Chain A
Amino acid sequence: MIARRRRTNSGSDSKQNGISSQTSQTFVSEVLLDTDMSCRDRTNEFFSAAKLLQSRQGNGALAQKRNPALRQRSEFTQIAKKIGRDLANTFAKLEKLTMLAKKKSLFDDKPVEIQELTYIINQDIQGLNKQIAQLQQVARSHPNARHVQSHSNSVVVSLQSKLATMSNDFKQVLEVRTENLKHQKTRRDQFSESPSNTTYSNHSSVLFQDEMNHSQGATGGADVVINMDGLDKNRFQQQMQLVDQQDDYIQDRADTMKNIESTIVELGGIFTQLAHMVKEQEEIVHRIDSNTDDAVMNVEAAHSEILKYFQSVTSNRWLMIKIFAVLILFFIIFVVFMA
């Protein structure tokens, strides 16, 4: 990828006097190919079309009109080129760091170099971030045609995605490095006595030394030998005190981070529980809904039944009169029959 970019740089340098959009197109097409985006390289077709247009319309008038636009575009492309070059350099440094971090032997470690390289890469990534933001500003500040605008946007987006992949790789390398450090520490502790429990102030370490001496004395054996060991441990512990003071601060920060991480995990668990409960209650809500629908349906049906009854009762009155009239007639006939 580095070789490809160098070729692009030299190519665009030589073509600087020509049509600037060509160079940016070449650059972008190379960049797009690098990031594995699914796009075809149609630069050759573009070149042939541009040559055709050029031969058709003549160069002079067009070149003058395009000069200020050329200058704006070339500023953009120069900044983009610089960013691409810095990106390539930082990628190379990151590869070096990866090689250094992957070494697993106990004594071949170069912590100073690794720290320096990490610091440099960190600074580089921050600087690149700022540069890309600046590039975006430049692209937005010049009011260009729509296709030029979309081209600048795609260049900026591709640079940003490259930076993002690089930061991800950097993070992974740092994780690998911490894993290796942990392994080294455990292995070192296996082979040498672990000088744990060293503290800040001198008082408690003196007490600790007394305790160590007493416990050593209790195990028996020649007193002289054990005292010498105790003295050695003393010196060792004092040296480790310095390292551990720094370590304590770092340990403190690590503990706080662990706390924060566990709190966040807890919060995540609470959220899932919440979602679970709400989902269960959804079923209850459905049941309520269907019950009320049933109730409404039944009430409507009963309402219509009663209406029907009411209608039959009201419309029945005439029938009722007629029936009564017939009954009274029958009564009269009966009475007449009897009497």
Chain B
Amino acid sequence: MKLYCIAVLHKGETKVNPLASAHELSSFGYFQRSSVKEFMDFTCKIVAERTIVGSRASVKEQEYICHVYVRSDCLTGLVIADHEYPQRVAHTLINKVLEEFTGKVPKSQWPTANSSTIVYGGLADYLQKYQDPKQADSMTKIQSELDETKIILYDTIEKILEREEKLNDLVEKSEGLSMQSKAFYKTARKTNSCCVIL
């Protein structure tokens, strides 16, 4: 599962203004990269224009899915990922990015500013971190750890059952041993008590 792009835009009344974006293009050939980047930016703009304010959507496009969330204050977050990437994690990521962006960049700059004027460098880190949703998203991490723990516990229970069998074996053997030793003691006592005279 891969993430290809994260973008933050402002959806104004008439036009959409891209504010920040980060791309992960290492899977494409060297000469294709710039065109792929342009295509992704274009897709972001179009999808943001078509999405209604205050809603989430996931648009399928050939082999990519574009998850978009337009907040009620017209700030838009976009994530382009492949088919396997879980939808919930993508939307969680969008929420996080939008919140951080709102904290760092004042609202007045949104309709007018450009990606060159805004200083926001966190997108690349998020892109890297969320490449593996199992590590970055806490709920998936918890789920996978719990599953591992469950497997380990099933193994433990099987081992305990084996242990029980071995303990039963040991009980029988020790019972036999104690009976034999008792017989041994009785024989020894008999040899001692009977032939004293001789």
Contacts and interface: CB of A to CB of B under 8 A. Distances in A.
A295 B174 contact: yes
A305 B157 contact: no
Given A246-B56, A298-B178, A278 B160 contact: yes
B107 interface: no
Interface residue tally on A, bucketed by range: 35 or more
A53 interface: no
Contacts, number: 120
Given A252-B87, A296-B181, A298-B184, 4 more contacts: A259-B143, A260-B143, A263-B150, A277-B157
Given A245-B57, A291-B171, A298 B181 contact: yes
A274 B153 CA distance: 9
B52 interface: yes
A62 B127 CA distance: 61
A305 B189 contact: yes
Nearest to A266: B150
26 contacts: A242-B52, A242-B55, A245-B56, A246-B56, A249-B88, A256-B139, A256-B143, A260-B139, A263-B150, A267-B149, A267-B153, A278-B160, A281-B163, A281-B167, A285-B167, A288-B170, A288-B171, A291-B178, A294-B182, A295-B178, A297-B181, A298-B184, A303-B188, A305-B185, A305-B188, A312-B192
Interface residue tally on B, bucketed by range: 35 or more
Interface string A240-271: 00100110110011001101100110110011
> Which are the 9 A-B pairs with shortest beta-carbon distances?
A298-B181, A291-B174, A305-B188, A302-B185, A302-B188, A294-B178, A295-B178, A295-B181, A295-B177
Contact of B177 (A245, A249, A292, A302): A292
B119 interface: no
The B interface is mostly helix, strand or loop, or mixed, namely helix
Nearest to B160: A277
Contacts of A242: 52, 54-55
